[in-house]
Amino acid sequence: MFKPHLLAVVSRCNSFFGCVDICCNWGNSAPRTLKGLKSVTSEQVFEREQKYGAHNYHHCSAYRAKGVSLDMEGKRYFDFLSAYSAVNQGHCHPKIVNTMVEQAQRLTLTSRAFYTDVLGEYEEFLTKLFNYDKVLPMNTGVEGGETACKIARCWAYMKKKVPENQAKIIFAENNFWGRTLSAISASTDPMSYDELRPYMPGFEIVKYNDTAALEKAFQDPNVCAYMVEPIQGEAGVVALDAGYLTEVRELCTKYNVLFIADEVQTGLARTGRMLAVDHEDVKPDLLILGKALSGGLYPVSAVLRDDHIMDCIQPGLHTAMDVMDPRMRILAASRYYVRVARERCENAQIQATYLRKELNTLPKDVVPVVRGKGLLNAIVINKKFDAWDVCLNLCKPTHGDIIRFATTGHHRGTDPRMCQYYQKYH
């Protein structure tokens, strides 16, 4: 059995967060090297992108991927980011790829002026699966958040009778749901919103995991919605206290406020349940899905809600052109992925138990905290240790195995493909 490399990122932060894939094991038997790799080195890739592209990320290179990825030199590595949970099933899943190619060769693009044989089938599947009346498909996760905010404002004026231009939406401190002007207007991270004023009005912040602060905010009759991540990924994999979501559901019902669950990263078996809110058996008024919804092969998101909220959306108020791209046959392919995800919830729990058990064997003076739920986990590194030196040590080629982490503050995250089976590598 091969011994994979784990690709590394060098960071000046003091923390890791991330995920592991849960769904299938089809790509793990690929040979160590593949024929046909481009005659270009990782260094050349870095230099070209640095010269011609906006410098908004620190990258590692990848040329070909199948379950487990390859860089330009043909090294194997485990992708412990999984595109922030978008490729939970692994890279280039053959059934999803084949479905995408099949439809791409049949029809290029239509608008909502036409029906296709795909959209209604997909909508029926998704609404029945998650027990909602209606779904509005979008392209990206941040569009899902934007759409939920638009629906909430429409509902505020049409149903709750909030005075014109006075609707307010509450967000949790340290939230992250994208980089649009609306999303950064809800952010508490200066790196996201500095130099981008003026901000969107009508957004307010409460402390995460604090129901007393939330109820105080709900005293304002103009508050129409509360949007929250069941686990804050970008903030460092910060999970809510047990019972918090149950209290949120009760407070939203009591004060006639819409409960919006942002499950773009946590949804579809990532935490060991189909939805993270399922751990408390609560049903949000609006549910936002994305990332893994399409198996990571095409941008797909969705906002689900019931008829009493849905009927606020009238023709002409909201649409998304690319949602009607017949390549959205990928929507049908995503049905396959979602079914697999349902089957792999148990595997996510099993692998998560093993992962956290092993992480907890790390020296406690260096890694005092391991946290997470399912296969969305983080380790906290003691501030007295310089993470720059830690990352350099991880990157030394003599170490053999290299890990690619996402970084936030003093946390490092693991977001591995959910198809990973630890037994295969021991």
Rounded to 5°, the CA angle 393-388-67 comes to 60
Out of 176, 218, 259, 405, which one is annotated catalytic? Answer: 176
Tokens linked to 56? 């908004």
Instruction: Say if CB 349 and CB 272 are below 8 A apart.
Output: yes
Judge residue 113's burial from the number of C-beta atoms within 10 Å of its C-beta, 0-12 exposed, 13-18 middle, 19 or more buried.
Answer: exposed
Alpha-carbon distance 363 to 166, whole Å?
A: 52
Rounded to 5°, the CA angle 147-414-211 comes to 50
Alpha-carbon distance 300 to 122, whole Å?
A: 12
Q: What is the residue whose two structure tokens read 């040590």?
A: 393
Alpha-carbon distance 288 to 42, whole Å?
A: 36
Tokens linked to 158? 């049409």
Out of 262, 278, 285, 325, which one is annotated catalytic? Answer: 262
Strand 68-70 versus strand 76-77 pairing type? antiparallel
Compute φ and ψ for 56, nearest 5 degrees: -115, 5
Question: Has 291 been annotated as catalytic?
Answer: yes
Question: Has 176 been annotated as catalytic?
Answer: yes
Out of 171, 291, 325, 415, which one is annotated catalytic? Answer: 291
Q: Which helix (H) or strand (E) holds 377?
A: strand 376-380
Q: Which helix (H) or strand (E) holds 255?
A: helix 244-255
Those residues whose C-beta lies under 8 Å from the C-beta of residue 165, and which sit 6 or more positions away, are none
Tokens linked to 171? 């967000």
Alpha-carbon distance 190 to 192, whole Å?
A: 5
Question: Has 401 been annotated as catalytic?
Answer: no
Judge residue 351's burial from the number of C-beta atoms within 10 Å of its C-beta, 0-12 exposed, 13-18 middle, 19 or more buried.
Answer: buried
Cβ count within 10 A of residue 19: 37
Which of the 8 DSSP states describes residue 70? E
Active site residues: 176, 262, 291
